Amino acid sequence: MKVAVLIFGLCAIVAATFAASSTWGVRNETDSVIIQQRLLYPAIANKAQTVYFDLPASKQSNSKIISAIYLLDQFQNSTGPTNTLVWGGPGWTYASVQLRTSTSIGLNVTAVVYGK
């Protein structure tokens, strides 16, 4: 029985890792939106795309501490990217997220970052 629970837990972790929508951190009632941005890139035939979402953007600053990062897949069929938090994130004033699409699939994600 313990083996079945272990296998189920491992499958749940793998499924969460490869989910198109991702969340890091927890949004509180006192948090405000630092940035809300639509990441939209068309598909390139036979190519997988890698896009980085950085906060703060190049040549900008951010003094607010990030509490949550939400990446919401806008495709209805869950063909969105694999998302990886590269550095920073909740508890920091900066973050970099890597979004990697599947081959011949575009990118349509809404990124929302909360902080205070």
Question: 65-87: per-residue pLDDT in tens?
Answer: 999 999 998 887 777 889 999 99
* Domain-embedded: residue 4: no
- What integer pLDDT is reported at residue 2 of this predicted model? 64
Q: Please count the structural domains in the chain.
A: 1
Total-model pTM: 0.75
Q: Which domain holds residue 29?
A: 20-115
Per the CB < 8 A criterion, the answer to whether 92 and 66 are in contact is yes
In a domain, 9, yes or no: no
pLDDT band at 100 (very low <50, low <70, confident <90, very high): very high
Band of pLDDT at residue 21, cut at 50, 70 and 90: confident
d(CA 73, CA 20): 6
Q: What is the pLDDT of residue 6?
A: 55
Q: Is residue 52 part of a domain?
A: yes
Task: Give SS3 for 34.
Answer: strand
Q: Which residue has the higher pLDDT, 20 or 88?
A: 88
Could you tell me if residue 111 is inside a domain?
yes
